[in-house]
Amino acid sequence: MEHEPRNSEPEVSFTEVLRNWFRAMTACFGLLLIMMGLYFASQLFGLGYAALTKPDQFGPVIDQWTEYFGGPEPIIDPRGELAISPRLFVFLALGGIVLVMLALTTSVITTGARIVYWMGTDLDAVKRVLGSVFGPSTVQVIKSPPENRPKPFDHPDPQAR
């Protein structure tokens, strides 16, 4: 039948659909990591704010950890030269743990952002945008191998420095 309208939708292969589905699921996983990191960051921020505004609530926590580390007697170096307050030791140890948790939270957020960026970017689209904004020479720099790319702060004329 010659006069029947042709199907205007192009054929999409199963592998292309599977690839796009995988990219979408991976991007959703990246968004989940970002939200999880933001939740942990807000919890740590709330904990830090509560510690600064209501330090009397954290006294029992420090006392319990002090008992765990050996009671109220000072911690002594084996040579007997250094004595440190156990409460100060516990306070510094808990502060170090909070810093490690902040670093982990930051790494979870940045990992999620990288995953979303990697799954959501189309290199050809980036090249087209750069070419339309900065001219075709920018696209040529992107296509060239890394050893041929101009280095930052390199001037074409060495005498002009």
The three-state (H, E, C) secondary structure of 105-155, written as one string = HHHHHHHHHHHHHHHHCCHHHHHHHHHHHHCHHHHHHHHCCHHHCCCCCCC
Residue 9 lies in a domain: no
Residue 134 lies in a domain: no
Structure tokens at 158: 């060495």
Residue 138 lies in a domain: no
The predicted pLDDT at position 101 comes to 94
Per the structure, the complete domain to which residue 61 belongs is given by 18-121
Count of domains observed in the chain: 1
Q: What does the mean pLDDT of the chain come to?
A: 77
Residue 52 lies in a domain: yes
Residue 130 lies in a domain: no
Residue 4 lies in a domain: no
Return the bridge partners of 75, or none: 84
- For 23-76, the pLDDT digits (tens) are 888 888 989 999 999 999 999 999 889 988 988 888 888 888 888 877 777 776
The predicted pLDDT at position 147 comes to 59
pTM higher than the cut 0.85: no
Cα→Cα distances 63→41, 93, 100, Å: 26, 13, 22
Residue 157 lies in a domain: no
Residue 56 lies in a domain: yes
